[in-house]
Homo-oligomer: A and B are copies of this chain.
Amino acid sequence: MNPLFISNIYEERRNKLSASFSHGIALFLSNNESPANYPANTYRYRQDSNFLYFFGLSIPNIVGVIDFERNRSLLFGDDYEIDDIIWMGNQPKLMNLAVEIKVDEVRPYKELASFIKNKPVHFTPPYRSENRIELARLLNRSIDELSPSIELIKKIVSLREIKSYEEIVQLEEACEIGVKMHTIVMKYCKPGITERELYGLAEGIALGMGNGTSFPIILSQNGQTLHNHEHNLILEKGRLLVMDAGAENVMNYCSDYTRTLPVSGTFTKQQKEIYEIVYQANIAAIANCKPGIQNIENHKIAVTVLTEGLQKIGLMKGNMEESVALGAHALFMPHGLGHQIGLDVHDMEDLGENFVGYDDTIKRSEIFGWGALRMAKMLIPGHVITVEPGIYFIPHLIDIWKKEKKFEAFINYDKVETYKNFGGIRIEDDVLITKDGHRVLGTHLPKSVVEIESILKP
């Protein structure tokens, strides 16, 4: 265990959670091994982040319980058998692990069902099928009748979203790995190499320095396809390469960066124009990050900069304020400005996006583009968010909107047509909200046109 975390940290977190509940128990199921193509061939093990936050152990087949009424915490699980130890080497005893994280009691797994019987049970939304099956069994309900606790969700969000000093150290480490992933791709990006080779280099860095990537790497010359996980193309002169990738450090904290590179080493005039707009949007939104600001304001700043820029080069037109409010810019940036980041790259997304990014003061918009914003609510010190504006020319979306004559007052479709082979540009950084403002995490990763072109020069 990381020395920073050998302390009362997990006990303190559980106590803070307990302070909001007077009865019942909270049940935290570990994630178990997840098979790829047969039972024993499992994916890289990833513990549930709520389990990590309150119990810190990255091991499968255990359940953590916080008993609110008796103010006790328990682990239900079984030690390895002697036969397992022959194959797996010496394994720590659960009791010793429990002492490290200051859990009061360890009990055999088979006692769990009777322990929770007749107690009000709070649990978070199960996202793995084996945990849905297990919860249904434990609670004697059908799989479709599992009701996660809204009260528990809200309280967990209020705790996990404020990153402590120890956590920020971990996030910085994840950022350094992310920076190295992007740096190696900048070094090898050139016409003729395949997307797959670059992707292998980047993921190799993430695996070699930490716990792998924080999400499947997006690395594509078709950056306009936002959820693109294909890597089959050969890099071509004149095109843009978008890489959206981050790392998980060994303590499971995440980073998330996007950079867009001209394969040729230098941007064309047209690429540079669009790049500058996205860059200015990134800079302006980051500059405005501070406590007391709603993050939807930062989204608004970014899309306003985009709209202004796109008007200047003749792709958009019309009344600026109206254009932004109605979401005409969403043709070019259909996604939101960013999301929280922590033990998950979209932090706490298992608990529900609206509980993480929205609250009683702000509801999610129903307007296309605006509605895609994951993190809208007021920023407070300890929040860590991504800032990731982009401009994309998505042929399919352009065709639909043009046919519908959507926002004709704001979009010059004739000119937009000439950009259909452009691709996309996104620039993303990870930002900590401090008492006085903000701090961009990680070593500076080349970002401006000049910086990008310098690092790509042979």
Contacts and interface: CB of A to CB of B under 8 A. Distances in A.
B44 A43 contact: yes
A201 B37 CA distance: 24
A331 to B, nearest CB: 10
A204 interface: yes
B216 A208 contact: no
For the side of the interface on A, what is the size category? 35 or more
B203 A199 contact: no
Contacts of A34: 34, 36, 43
Contacts of A70: none
Contact of A37 (B208, B216, B350, B394): B350
A216 B302 CA distance: 42
Please state the number of chain copies in the assembly.
Answer: 2
A88 interface: yes
Contact of A197 (B38, B201, B208, B397): B208
B40 A228 contact: no
A344 to B, nearest CB: 5
B197 A203 contact: no
A85 B198 CA distance: 25
B215 A208 contact: no
Contacts of A133: 129, 132-133, 143
Contact of A346 (B40, B86, B397): B40
B207 A396 contact: no
A350 B196 CA distance: 29
B41 A225 contact: no
B196 A200 contact: no
Given A38-B344, A87-B226, A204-B208, 20 more contacts: A31-B37, A34-B36, A36-B44, A36-B46, A37-B49, A38-B49, A38-B349, A39-B350, A40-B349, A41-B215, A44-B216, A85-B396, A86-B394, A88-B225, A89-B396, A90-B396, A129-B130, A196-B208, A199-B207, A204-B207
Interface of A: 31, 34-44, 46-49, 82, 85-90, 127-130, 132-133, 143, 196-201, 203-209, 215-216, 222, 224-228, 334, 343-346, 349-350, 394, 396-397, 400
